[in-house]
A and B are shown apart, each in its own frame.
Chain A
């Protein structure tokens, strides 16, 4: 094997691919060949580095230089200056968001990474996910070997129990206990399942793990199968994640080729076969009983529990189902011991949690932090705060099932109990940040619209109750709300919670309930004052031109898509309120800021 003096890692996660990393990769390949450096500089495709905001990301080792927003045009400079002459290309380095605007040359010195602790994401952005040997080079499949060859299933189970790991899909059920139920369940045929049906708006933790380090999920599942005595497994991944599926298929094929999946794994009696089931993308299929129905080829609808999957799951057999992130933690827990894992985190929530940081935050991306870190640290220290000097307003935790927290709860630590106490949930890890320009009623309406669309329709409260709730929210946004609507919303919310079989309906009212709890004033402003404080709800705002400031340049009139603006050249213009659709384009183009919104 040839020796490569430098490694150029190009992120080919979905985020960076969307911002053009494919072209960067091709340009690098061409330029390295052109310069005759292709035999000494290795070009590697990796998964997500987490800092999707700055993509496409290129990291050059051994220096560990972290280049942001790289384009194909930057490539000749990187190759000539850095790889040929050894001069780091300063202008492409990460720059801090504060007034100092410091250039940070090394990956590890970027504040975004400084506060993170990457366990499940250890290999993401560091290895080529399509090369099993790179995974093995980083201790890959060592945990499987340890479990199979040196530990009994009981000892392996004990290690997972001692780790204190809890389900990362959202519910937070202790993983070891769940495994034990499936292990103790009588039956000759058992299954394990990886739930990769990530569907929360703004969440992409599971996708990034699958894309960046598919083998750690496969290895985790192998260990789980060994513990509970399963010989067959499924990864249920939505078809909307084509790259994740491609990488998984490749990972499974490589593991099969090396005999790590199949019969008599590593010379033992342990046999395991793994399949991928592509889901059609129904949100409800993330619910475990609906997910299993979907694998069986039935319509994805939840079933009452008990019986729990541990006793009667897939095709009526004992089944253990865990989320992607949960599986991704398993290899390192087994390798380093449950005690090591439980030394991280809080009393009741051990280890780390991955969050997808999105919305109005500077460093949109993926972060993994120890449990117990405060939400404020995640949003401001790691996320770099709110862009454009705007004011923080709220953060939605746990997607459409979660809750919306205001500023005074930012110091809540991220652990299952503390977050539940606020009315939000840990959920799978979505963290949508909003600023002062977001209307909280509109925001709640967005999430409710989502669950309303995704309700499978089995339970009337979820099917009809969420629809009625949505109608009330729409009414409030249209300026036709009544003050008694707020009580009605709360009453309906409680009934939807109580009257729904699965967590989709059981948590669907959470965004409405938490916004009512923490942002009631904003609802009241919509209803009583007929005003939208964030100036978002079109029925409650109107645009006006200040005749004193207007210079009659006609820009707004030409921009207006509905011809609502009239006026002669060099004379003040006027907006016809009946025609105006409140798109705000006039305000955006006005060169003298004569247009205001109220």
Chain B
């Protein structure tokens, strides 16, 4: 059991609230979503590793307001691993043939800077 910190001021409370935010963040909607194709085809193409890298990368960058979901096969098996990114109010971007290195680019460029990684895009839906 971890040792709990003493709260001596409002700043302490606010800081602990900030630190604790990701404890419940995944339970509230309305934020950027990353969806990884986890059908048999996706898994065979390496989607598990992609998923692991996504989680590591989000953690490294401190991106707590992102929901990471999985989904089944959507029929474009030859393009797996597929990763979709949906930023609130923006179209759903589907990236294909995503490898671990692409994940870092997608997160830095698309999620942080808001620039779509064009060379990996295979589809867009509203």
Contacts and interface: CB of A to CB of B under 8 A. Distances in A.
Contact of A258 (B5, B33, B51, B59): B5
B41 to A, nearest CB: 11
Interface residues of A, number: 41
Interface in B20-71: 20-27, 29, 33, 35-39, 43, 51-52, 54-55, 58-59, 64, 67-71
B10 A145 contact: yes
A85 B24 contact: no
A6 interface: yes
A267 B36 CA distance: 47
B19 interface: yes
Contacts of A137: 17, 20-21, 23-25
A258 B7 contact: yes
**Chain B, interface residues (CB within 8 Å), range:** 35 or more
Nearest to B8: A267
Nearest to A9: B27
B7 to A, nearest CB: 5
A64 B28 CA distance: 9
A58 interface: no
A3 interface: yes
A6 B51 CA distance: 12
Contacts of B70: 83-86
Contact of A85 (B10, B21, B22, B72): B72
A63 B23 contact: no
A28 to B, nearest CB: 16
Interface string A53-77: 0000000011110000000000000
Contacts of A9: 27
A258 B27 contact: no
Contacts of A472: none
Contacts of B51: 5, 40
Interface string A133-164: 11011111110010001000000000000000
A303 B54 CA distance: 65
Nearest to A87: B72
Contacts of A1: 19, 22
B10 A136 contact: no
A61 B13 contact: no
Given A3-B58, A5-B68, A61-B26, A86 B4 contact: no
B35 A86 contact: yes
Interface in A253-287: 254, 257-260, 266-267
Contact of B29 (A5, A64, A132): A64
Interface in B69-103: 69-72
Interface string A115-132: 000000000001100011
A131 B20 CA distance: 10
A550 interface: no
A29 B67 CA distance: 22
Given A5-B68, A259-B8, A126 B24 contact: yes
B16 interface: yes
Which interface residue of A3, A149, A267 has the most chain B CB atoms within 10 A? A3
Contacts of B10: 145, 149, 266
A84 B10 CA distance: 41
Contacts of B64: 3
A315 B67 CA distance: 54
A42 interface: yes
Contacts of B4: 132-133, 254, 257-258
A472 B33 CA distance: 67
A145 B38 contact: no
A136 B17 contact: yes
A3 B59 CA distance: 6
A62 B24 contact: no
A144 B6 CA distance: 15
Contacts of A6: 26, 68-69
Contact of A134 (B8, B24, B52, B54): B24
Contact of A259 (B6, B22, B55, B59): B6
A2 interface: yes
B13 A266 contact: yes
Nearest to A135: B20
B9 interface: yes
A133 B23 contact: yes
A62 B29 contact: yes
Nearest to A146: B10
Given A3-B55, A6-B26, A62-B29, A266 B8 contact: yes
Contacts of A468: none
Contacts of B72: 85-87
A86 B22 contact: no
Q: Of B3, B7, B22, B29, which is in contact with the most chain A CB atoms at under 10 Å from its CB? A: B7
23 contacts: A3-B58, A5-B69, A7-B24, A40-B51, A62-B68, A62-B69, A85-B39, A85-B71, A86-B37, A87-B72, A126-B24, A126-B27, A127-B24, A132-B4, A136-B16, A136-B20, A137-B21, A137-B25, A142-B13, A259-B7, A259-B8, A266-B12, A267-B9
Given A134-B20, A258-B6, 12 more contacts: A3-B59, A5-B51, A84-B38, A85-B38, A86-B69, A133-B19, A134-B24, A136-B13, A145-B10, A145-B13, A259-B6, A267-B8
